[in-house]
Amino acid sequence: MAGDENVRVSEKLDFNTFEFEFENLHYAEGRGRTYVIFDVKPQSEGGRGKRLWGYVRNNPLDDHAEVILMSKINDHLETHQGNYTMTWYMSWSPCGNCSSELVPWLKNLEEQQHTLTMHFSRIYDKDRAVDHRGLCDLQRVVSNYFQMGVMRKKEVKKCLAEYVEASGRTLRWLRTTTSNAGRRRRKLYSILVRCAGMRESGMPLHLFT
Ligand SMILES: [Zn+2]
């Protein structure tokens, strides 16, 4: 499968990479890659479902991380049928192109009664209008099955506890996580309030927490 070399299954992300790539700054210089830590868990034990977890990064010259991950999850769902609860922890929010691929994929997940929660550290808007439109399109498919929002300290700590080779180390930016996450949430809110349909689909996850 294309991009497989950028997927690490059942492997924790190393601490230094997490500390650099997930820092929730507005201007994050040098963070040209996107990392997504993922956990795809069967909703019930004892079924045919099998957990899939690890992390994926984009291939700078080719596929974005989200596209690689969708393909990986599709393969998994085909071979290990069941209903899954999925969580993604992303260094950047999806770009416009990825959002346009995610929307139909998410609708399909919903039809199959899988859930996905997406937490992102920073808001990606290199191509402002297109990327903002993408976030609005994602917001329109928010439901009981799909939620998205900015990573808070709680999610950062969850990553350190479960998905990062942290060995008791302390993030240099842990103390500023909450205030920075508040700024990222306000930015997300300002993008989404301009979208039609936000009221119907509800507020983004963790907007006010
Ligand atoms: Zn993308």
DSSP string, 111-145: HTT-EEEEEEEE---TTHHHHHHHHHHHHHT-SSS
Measured CA to CA, the distance from residue 2 to residue 52 in angstroms comes to: 18
Q: CA-to-CA distance for 53 and 62, rounded, in angstroms? A: 23
pLDDT of residue 26: 84
In a domain? residue 136: yes
Would you say residue 2 lies in a domain?
no
pLDDT at residue 29 in the model: 81
- Check: CB of residue 88 under 8 Å from CB of residue 122: no
- Please tell me the distance between residue 36's alpha carbon and the centre of ligand 1 in angstroms: 11
What local confidence, expressed as pLDDT, does residue 208 receive? 45
pLDDT for the residue numbered 176: 94
Q: How far from each other are the two terminal CA atoms of the chain, in whole angstroms?
A: 39
Residue with tokens 């006010």: 208
Residue-level pLDDT, tens digit, the chain, 209 residues: 444 779 999 999 999 999 999 999 988 888 889 999 999 999 987 777 999 999 999 987 789 999 999 999 999 999 999 999 999 999 999 999 999 999 999 999 999 999 999 999 999 988 889 999 999 999 999 999 999 999 999 999 999 999 999 888 999 999 999 999 999 999 999 899 887 655 555 566 655 44
- Residue 207 belongs to some domain of the structure: no
If you measure from the C-alpha of residue 31 to the centroid of ligand 1, how many angstroms do you get, rounded to a whole number? 14
Residue 97 Cα to ligand 1 midpoint, Å, equals 6
Residue 147 β-bridge partners: 117
In a domain, 149, yes or no: yes
Ligand 1 geometric centre to CA of 78 (Å): 24
- CATH number at 48 reads 3.40.140.10
Compute, in angstroms, the gap from residue 45 CA to the centroid of ligand 1: 33
Position 2 scores a pLDDT of 45
What residue numbers bound the domain in which 29 lies?
7-197
Q: How far is CA 11 from CA 6, 37, 74, 146, 159, in A?
A: 12, 10, 19, 25, 12
Q: What does the angle CA 19 – CA 25 – CA 28 come to, to the nearest 5 degrees?
A: 80
Buried b or exposed e, range 20-59, using 16+ CB within 10 angstroms? bbbbbeeebeebebbbbbbbbbbeeeeeebeebbbbbbbb
What distance in angstroms lies between residue 93's CA and the mean position of ligand 1's atoms?
8
How far is the centre of ligand 1, averaged over its atoms, from the C-alpha of 168 (Å)?
A: 32
In a domain, 145, yes or no: yes
Q: Tell me the CA–centroid distance for residue 152 and ligand 1, in Å.
A: 22
Q: How far does the centroid of ligand 1 lie from the alpha carbon of residue 184, in Å?
A: 18
The number of folded domains in the chain is 1
| pTM for this predicted structure | 0.92
Distance 104 CA to ligand 1 centre (A): 15
In a domain, 168, yes or no: yes
Provide the pLDDT for residue 32: 85
8 pairs with which residues across the strands? 55
Domain-embedded: residue 209: no
- What pairs with residue 165 in β-bridges? 14
| Inter-CA distances, 107 with 15, 69, 78, 91, 171, Å | 34, 16, 17, 23, 36
Residue 203 lies in a domain: no
